Amino acid sequence: MKILVIGAGGREHAICQQFLKSPKVNELYCAPGNGGISQIATNVNISVNEVNDFSKLVDFAKENGIDFTFVGPEIPLSLGIVDYFEANDLKIIGPPKDGARLESSKVYSKGFMRKYDIPTAEYSHFSDINDALRFLDKCKKDQKIVVKADGLAAGKGVYVCSGREKAKNAVSQIMNYKILDPAAGKSIIIEEYIDGPELSYLIFTDGISYSIMPASQDHKRINDNDQGPNTGGMGAYAPAPLAIADDLNKKTETIIRKIINGIKAEKINYKGILYVGLIVKDSCPYVLEFNCRLGDPETQAVLPLLDTDLTDVCVAILNKELGTLKIDWRKKFSVSVVLASSGYPEEFETGFEISGLENINDEDTIVFHAGTKFESGKFFTCGGRVLSITSMADNVKSAIDKVYSNVRSVYFKNMHYRRDIAWRALNE
């Protein structure tokens, strides 16, 4: 079997690593891939921007007899890569463009939740900055408020504001100063703040049946104790002990069933991954957001626990036979820590040699590359999030101890990482 993975990050390295375990896979490609992926798969000679040139990817898939393609990042999905591939009679894992709107438009996703009675924070949406500011003038001065850009913003379009004035500033930054992609900030959501722990649920679905992966928790802020600006994610762990509670499980299952039924009702031919971000208040889960692909860094914590052949899962999804497949998971805990370039998520330097990777030889620890390149037999940094190191063990404490022991074996100039990944798990 020949498989093509789209993407260049730690998530895609984890996907490739999982496919590599399958005896059914004899050729594995990644477009464009990264330094670490080049050691286990063939990187396709295509730039990050060219990933959105679907004709080149289709030509590659046809010329190389690719059996199916697995899409990692959100932008190709939002631009309709699945529709393009299927129009060319190529099999691909991911939702079509109308399904990807669940992630690419906060306004659409909130409307979907309201339509299908899915619990979420109360909200209003605005496309005029003056209307938004007038709305905020009616809020209490010290009221916590959440402001969200409507479109894709690489995980950085959500502002949790401690008061009315900060919320107005966030609105101005998005809609007036356009600090995000201009398209992302044409419309915004202003919603109530819900306080509580968050959970990430990754779900395999063929649009008819679904299978829930072990729940995880990620760590968005750049610094310990959830301080500093939001990032794409600084680490994750799974399964989250909070999600094991029977009562919460039942409520979450009900929510996910409503989501899948809503997708069916909308006649969306959804074949791939659905990510449901929840927040829990007083033992009641509320949906914060949808993603239409595997999360990063949650994937680096969750996928190593998969005991079933990922190719079998993908084939079942493509054939809409997921309901007939039993998916097994390892009875382990997994903790993944991101090593980033100092300065991320703002400005940072790259080009530094990475050392110490050869010191990691534990079979239950995996290094996933993200912002790396491989030259002259050495790895160098070339991005904000550089590596994810994931360790598995029989309990959370052992997994934490193991992963940080391995983290301390690796070095590159200006390396930054959080030292409290999975701290919540020790207190639940």
Question: Tell me: the pLDDT tens digits for 150-165?
Answer: 988 877 788 999 999 9
Residue 325 contacts residue 315 (beta carbons within 8 Å): no
- Tell me, yes or no, whether 191 lies in a domain: no
Whole-number pLDDT of residue 185: 83
Q: Are 11 and 140 in a shared domain?
A: no
DSSP 271: B
Give the Cα separation of 190 and 97 in Å (integer): 25
Give the Cα separation of 135 and 357 in Å (integer): 52
Global confidence as pTM:
0.94
Q: How confident is the model at residue 428 (pLDDT cuts 50, 70, 90)?
A: low
Q: Are 179 and 222 in a shared domain?
A: no
Q: How confident is the model at residue 417 (pLDDT cuts 50, 70, 90)?
A: very high
Q: Which region among 46-60, 125-139, 264-278 has the lowest average model confidence (pLDDT)?
A: 46-60
**Interaxial angle between packed helices 310-318 and 10-20, expressed in degrees from 0 to 180 and rounded to the nearest 10:** 100
Measured CA to CA in angstroms, residue 28 lies from 21, 76, 97, 317, 406 at distances of 11, 20, 25, 19, 28
Domain boundary (186, 208, 230) is at 186
**For tokens 């010329």, what's the residue?**
63
Residue 279 contacts residue 194 (beta carbons within 8 Å): yes
The maximal CA–CA distance of the chain, rounded, in angstroms, is: 61
Average pLDDT over residues 290-315: 97
Q: Are 61 and 144 in a shared domain?
A: no
List beta partners, residue 385: 340
Whole-number pLDDT of residue 132: 94
Give the Cα separation of 213 and 252 in Å (integer): 13
Q: Are 266 and 334 in a shared domain?
A: yes
Q: Are 212 and 163 in a shared domain?
A: no
Q: Are 179 and 207 in a shared domain?
A: no
Q: Are 292 and 372 in a shared domain?
A: yes
Paired tokens of 31: 């477009």
Mean pLDDT of the chain: 94
Paired tokens of 166: 């900060």
Q: Which domain holds residue 63?
A: 2-94
Residue 15, domain CATH: 3.40.50.20
pLDDT > 70 in the chain, percent: 100
pLDDT of 425 higher than 90: no
Sign of the C-alpha dihedral, residues 349, 353, 359, 363?
Answer: positive
Average pLDDT over residues 397-411: 97
Three-class DSSP category at 192: strand
**What stretches of 269-331 adopt beta strand conformation (E)?**
272-281, 284-291
Whole-number pLDDT of residue 53: 87
Three-class DSSP category at 359: helix
Residue 138, domain CATH: 3.30.1490.20
Q: Are 229 and 165 in a shared domain?
A: no
Residue 186 contacts residue 151 (beta carbons within 8 Å): yes
Whole-number pLDDT of residue 241: 86
Q: How confident is the model at residue 90 (pLDDT cuts 50, 70, 90)?
A: very high
**pLDDT tens digits along 37-68:** 999 999 999 887 778 889 999 999 999 999 99
Q: How far apart are the first and last CA of the chain?
A: 43
DSSP 209: -
Q: How confident is the model at residue 177 (pLDDT cuts 50, 70, 90)?
A: confident
- Tell me, yes or no, whether 122 lies in a domain: no
Whole-number pLDDT of residue 258: 97
Q: How many domains does one find in the chain?
A: 3
Whole-number pLDDT of residue 247: 79
Cα dihedral 219, 221, 223, 224 in deg (nearest 10): -40
More confident residue, 106 or 246: 106
DSSP 195: -
Give the Cα separation of 3 and 25 in Å (integer): 7
Q: Are 215 and 260 in a shared domain?
A: yes
- Tell me, yes or no, whether 203 lies in a domain: yes
- Tell me, yes or no, whether 100 lies in a domain: no
Q: Are 136 and 36 in a shared domain?
A: no
Q: How many CB atoms lie within 10 A of CB 113?
A: 23
Q: Which region among 81-95, 181-195, 196-210 has the lowest average model confidence (pLDDT)?
A: 181-195
Whole-number pLDDT of residue 426: 80
Residue 206 contacts residue 271 (beta carbons within 8 Å): yes
Q: How confident is the model at residue 77 (pLDDT cuts 50, 70, 90)?
A: very high
Q: Are 278 and 147 in a shared domain?
A: no
**pLDDT tens digits along 331-383:** 999 999 999 999 999 999 999 999 999 999 888 999 999 999 999 999 999 99
Give the Cα separation of 295 and 161 in Å (integer): 24
Q: Are 174 and 221 in a shared domain?
A: no
Domain boundary (142, 157, 186) is at 186
